[in-house]
Structure 1
């Protein structure tokens, strides 16, 4: 009699960028990913996505970590910082180049904007440099040769997804003109290295997922499961992290924000008299990802209560 294959142990993560303090939208992602991991008796990691040093706010990384701890969001294993992982990204890019899956690109953003037709996240790269550069051209970036055909996956919250990257994005950048490796490559390399098999993150990254799946297949990495959470928007429809009104979570009194994002995630509201030390022991057994709304959620500006 055959035996059913055992599922690998759950390994999830929260990967903030240190561009400012932890706000309500980021807390929602942290809470959902933490609760999903703990409800599955899994591992929850924190990775600081600090590749783009120009956007990093001094002290923001430490502030985010302190706020997570104040919320009872304690991570497993060693904290990883992307700025320490450059060699791994360089090796992955070299591996793709050996397969003839990348090529140097001399185009500026202005050229791409002028020549590319509209796509899902800006102008579609028209493939100008796909067949090689002339001796007079200087390589600015490195691009991935996006194969034609649909990439399909089932999102645990958003449902079935299909996208033909070659038609909607085109060949995409893996190393930028300033030498920094692109998010699409770094996140794929780091998730594989850390053994991440469950990813919960904001719906603003949903359109990036097919590109990452392409890279996972090209690098022979295992494809994780994805769940994209609704975004919190201000009253003008802007993502809360980009809103001037995105006040940071108060690490001195985080419980009101915790209770609020728990409710925004469609979960049973916690009892009014529940204290922070008891929140997670009450909340984790009650976590239900099938109750998380798929659509974007409008968040009120004042999130103090």
Structure 2
């Protein structure tokens, strides 16, 4: 089975352009099922849905959340679909499986004030590292980027003549995003300092660099955002995705068309973008209940 799993991982890497982190998660999820059926002496090529259901029950008993279980089952379903294409199996045992119900959590975006507080503090500093951190925040919030999109940006992706940034998103899909004047000003100053810093070690293609002047990774970006916003807000989650979330929510608050936001964020489905509108509605309800005089009387 290990050889088939490896073929599937290579396929996901080359054809789907999945990140290393995602590929490792898929591999572990599939091998988790392998370990389960081995205990019952079942060959992976002849499993049926009863075997899958037994595995799911074990995952529930282990205390895994439905969201995590759904991810594991999704990985396994894709694997068996791949095996069908290779003619290793005649049917997908998960073909009729329905995902477990997941309670949707409303993720609260940062307020504009919270973002301004962090950015203003960084603007008062004039070091390469502080300006680099400000660029990270401005790119995530000003363009609504994903972490992976940000770390893969190159200097050549910034076009000051057209006032836009070229972004490579999921599935290697490209989109050009307009730069805000505030972002453009920060980038100009950052690139000036960046060029001074690189004089002794040569040119680097990556736009965002760490202290060693190498391309940053996604965990680095997470630490930067979590570090600054943990001190600026009492919100439970302080991640790069919350800044991307804030980008969409604040656009909706100001009347932006949801289809336009979909294109800006690089979403495949409009339903994904609509999630941000739902969160905004939830916030409005919260304000309404706290402010309406009839609610106060109760």
Quickly name the TM-score band, shorter chain normalised. under 0.3
Q: TM-score, normalised by structure 1?
A: 0.25
Larger Rg computed on CA atoms: 2
**Relative contact order: is structure 1 or structure 2 higher (C-alpha 8 Å, sep ≥ 6)?**
1
Q: Which of the two has greater strand per residue? A: 1
Q: TM-score, normalised by structure 2?
A: 0.25
